[in-house]
Chains A and B, each alone.
Chain A
Amino acid sequence: MDQFFQQLVNGLTLGSLYALIAVGYTVVYGIVQLINFAHGEVFMIGAFGALTTYLLFFNGQTSVWILPVMIVGAMIASVSTAVLMERIAYRPLRNAPRLAPLITAIGISVFLQEFVRLFYERPAWTVVVFAGLAIAAGYAVGSRQSGANLDNPVTKWYDRAPLLGGAAGAVALWIVVLLISTDVSAVYVVAAVVGGAVVGTLVGMAAGQAAKPHARVSINVRSVAVSAAVAAVAAELGWVLFKELINKVAWPSAKARIPFPQLDGVTGKALQVGGVTIQRSAIFTVAALVVCAVLLWFFINRTRLGRGMQAVSQDPDTARLMGINVDRIIVVAFALGAVLAAIAGVSQGLQNNNIDFRMGFLAGLKAFTAAVLGGIGNVYGAVVGGLVLGVVEAMATQYIPGQFGGSTWKDVWAFVILILVLVFRPQGLLGARVVDRA
């Protein structure tokens, strides 16, 4: 009997992890009818975000109070990845055939894996990311300042040219300055920022002149200057951050598994309840799922945004007519999934005490199975599906005897369940309650 309860505990732990990730699949599917196959990588990046936070600020410490900060770090990494992903890979394909975003999803998934593998080992390359982010920041602020509509379907790149040119010019000057000297003294910083702003403005105006014959809107010099200045400041800020923080940490190689920090209280010696061993990290995982489920219920049913999500999932066109900003709702859906995936990433790190850049793939597939099992599009279904899948997996390894038993077959049983569900009950255990078109 102890064996049974032990496997139940193991299954529920595993299931909680699947459930946390599965919600991300289901929420996005419920709203845009897209299976975001890169969601497993969002989970992986959450784990790496937590580890990065730990290495940057708390390396070597074991106090339990680090955990909330690590979770916040994980959330920032996951949410920004998910939001960027939505903006770059999915939004431009919103009206494309269903297959196109599916293919980008798989592409993004591979891209993120390789990105983490390459960049985690060589933090020097993050300078490139900082440069890109600085240009993006300059462009974003500049476009807000100009007030012009830069998303004209025909001439958008000509319209954007002055602002992008301004930001890129500032960043280019910053790169040149860095190549001459990597000093971060005050004089250098001021010179790089002021010089960047001036050079950026000039470049931006030149770009504007060049694009003028094709552009539909004209951008005033002030906006270009603002964009250049913001880009210069952002680039410099990024460099200071890089110098002070990133460069001082000995980053582990991401090619192999990386040990996850061990914290007092959540890892270490397990608790004994009768004959059943309960790991501390398992308690954390299950508790995280319970808290998240309650908050999720509250968010969906009791807040404006949540109700907006329900409305969009039922009928996006009518919801738009009722004044709901559908784009914003979609971003919120991606962010919501990413938050839960980040928590799952931290839980998995604490449980397995190691993470690697491939961990998102199988976890993502299992969570997808869980989402389908519960009824894809149904948030509560995802939670139930995750728990059921985890328990079935644990029980199958225990009670299927002989050749086909044992832990090596657990993945086989998980996907056998997926096929059986798709054949006999395609709407899943709870059916699709949130989305009624699936």
Chain B
Amino acid sequence: MHQRSVVRVGATLIVASLALTACGSRSGNSSGGSSGGSTKTAKIGVIAPLSGDLSALGLGIQHSVELAVKQANDSNAIPGWKLEVVPKDDEAKPDPGKNAATALSSDKDVIGVVGTLNTSVSQQVQPVLASAKIVQVSPANTGPGLTQGANWQTSPKRPYPTYFRTCTTDAVQGPFAARYLYETAKITKVATIHDKKAYGQGLVGTFTEEFKKLGGTIVAAQTINPDDSNYQAALTAIKPSNPQAIYYGGEYPQAGPLSQQAKAAGLNVPLMGGDGIYDPKYITLAGKTSGNDLATSVGAPVDSLDSAKKFVSDYNAAGFKEPYAAYGGYSYDAANAIIDALKVSLKDAKDVESARQATVDAMSKVAFDGVTGKVAFDQYGDTTSKVLTVYKVAGGKWATVETKAFEAK
């Protein structure tokens, strides 16, 4: 008897709450529609670290998207529609990122999302946005698995049709470095070291494959622990094989000391790494002996491109508090790619929700000249422009050596 009453009360409560929420959402919807009047609103979300250590990069992403949206609104790029930016903080951590994605996907007006900065965060964000058919364009994720699945080296398969990115991946970065060393620097014997993390291991894997294909030899392959600060053991193992260069997969906190210790141990060869070591901090850690060390990074240096000059001047004119940082150009292109797709999908759409699938379809046909070069996506959602740049340490700074588009052979 007692139990039954509990069930009855519970059921009543659930029904009541469902009815209430349904009412709430319906009224919210109708009020949104009526206040919009003739111009309807579509929202573009931003998921990036807006607080914490990486907030400089995240705020640069946010502001660049805001700039693109403002320009689109000013020029009335999509007649009858007004765009709005909804920034969400992911703190560079997967869980807050997932919450941000959930919040955005429950908003009926969100049509696309620019973000995230970190590959690990994107792994959590992708499925949430994909289930709501919201298109996601990342300006900064370099993990190849995001577009080509976990087995991207052997059998690439696109996991989420809603995910795109405007930066190149580590699958291109490793081979690009291999070609530079073999073809330009004429180096045939290389030793590799990585830190066993996904980024480093992947980078060294793709580098090794390409370097061997070109005809070079990998004379030694070593690993280090990411928490170590003394790399004598690995360097001693490498030294007898007399490599002409060391290729390192990992980030600058380890790479800097590694370079210094290699030179102190008599291994006087350049160390090369990916965008994980392309940071001014690398040079302070590696010390005076780091001259001639090399790094690759995705894209061309933003201030060197003609197409970027307008972006830079517009950004500065808009008066944002924070600079556009490393990924500003990619974020601006990502937002413009979404806006380009919306021109097609929103034209005849009644509301945002019904236009989501059309936006995803339109994304794969997007093609225009962006800040970072030509913006277009291949069948996996990766950018077709595979421009990378080699940098070299010279005079205590990273100097550009060459910017080139990577072509598969």
Contact = CB atoms under 8 A, between A and B. Distances in A.
Interface residues of B, number: 32
B229 A354 contact: yes
Contact of B261 (A14, A352, A411): A352
Interface string B259-303: 011011110000000000000010011011000000000000000
Contacts of B224: 407-408
B230 A397 contact: no
Interface in A336-357: 348, 351-356
B158 interface: no
B265 A351 contact: no
A407 B288 contact: no
Contacts of A255: 53
B257 interface: yes
A122 interface: no
Interface in B90-108: none
Contacts of B288: 262
B236 A354 contact: no
B234 interface: yes
Contact of A406 (B223, B229, B263, B281): B223
A7 B260 contact: no
B319 interface: no
A268 interface: yes
A398 B257 contact: no
Interface stretch (A79-87, A106-114, A186-194, A269-277): A269-277
Interface in A354-409: 354-356, 358-359, 362, 393-394, 397-398, 406-408
Contact of B236 (A7, A348, A355): A7
A277 B239 contact: yes
B16 to A, nearest CB: 50
Given A262-B287, A281-B264, A406-B223, A14 B230 contact: yes
B318 interface: no
B264 A267 contact: yes
Nearest to B223: A408
B253 interface: yes
Contacts of A427: none
Contacts of B260: 353-354
B237 A398 contact: yes
A13 B261 CA distance: 14
A359 B223 contact: no
A256 interface: yes
B240 interface: yes
A6 B285 CA distance: 25
A398 B234 CA distance: 9
A265 interface: no
B222 A398 contact: no
A171 to B, nearest CB: 35
B261 A353 contact: yes
Nearest to A3: B240
Given A353-B287, A397-B237, A406 B222 contact: yes
A46 B231 CA distance: 22
A359 B237 contact: no
A393 B266 CA distance: 22
A39 interface: no
A409 to B, nearest CB: 9
A257 B196 CA distance: 19
A351 B257 CA distance: 10
Interface of B: 53, 196, 222-225, 227-234, 236-237, 239-240, 253, 256-257, 260-261, 263-266, 281, 284-285, 287-288
A434 to B, nearest CB: 31
Interface in A230-275: 255-257, 259, 262, 267-270, 272
A98 B229 CA distance: 34
A52 B64 CA distance: 40
A2 interface: yes
A143 interface: no
Given A10-B236, A353-B287, A406-B234, 17 more contacts: A2-B240, A10-B232, A256-B281, A257-B256, A257-B285, A259-B256, A259-B284, A262-B287, A277-B239, A280-B264, A354-B256, A354-B257, A359-B229, A362-B227, A398-B237, A407-B233, A408-B196
Contacts of B228: 407
A351 B265 CA distance: 10
Contact of B229 (A3, A7, A14, A352): A352
A354 B255 CA distance: 12
B242 to A, nearest CB: 12
A348 B232 CA distance: 12
Contacts of B196: 408
A272 B228 CA distance: 26
A10 B233 CA distance: 8
Contact of B253 (A257, A272, A411): A257
A344 B264 CA distance: 19
A351 B285 contact: no
Contacts of B253: 256-257
A10 B228 CA distance: 15
Contacts of A262: 287-288
Nearest to A277: B266
Given A408-B196, A408-B223, A408-B224, A397 B233 contact: yes
A160 interface: no
A407 B221 CA distance: 11
A36 interface: no
B287 to A, nearest CB: 6
A408 B225 contact: yes
A410 B233 contact: yes
Given A6-B236, A407-B234, A272 B266 contact: yes
Most-contacted residue by chain A among B222, B232, B234, B257 (CB, 10 A) = B232
Contacts of A279: 264-265
A190 to B, nearest CB: 43
Most-contacted residue by chain A among B224, B225, B236 (CB, 10 A) = B236
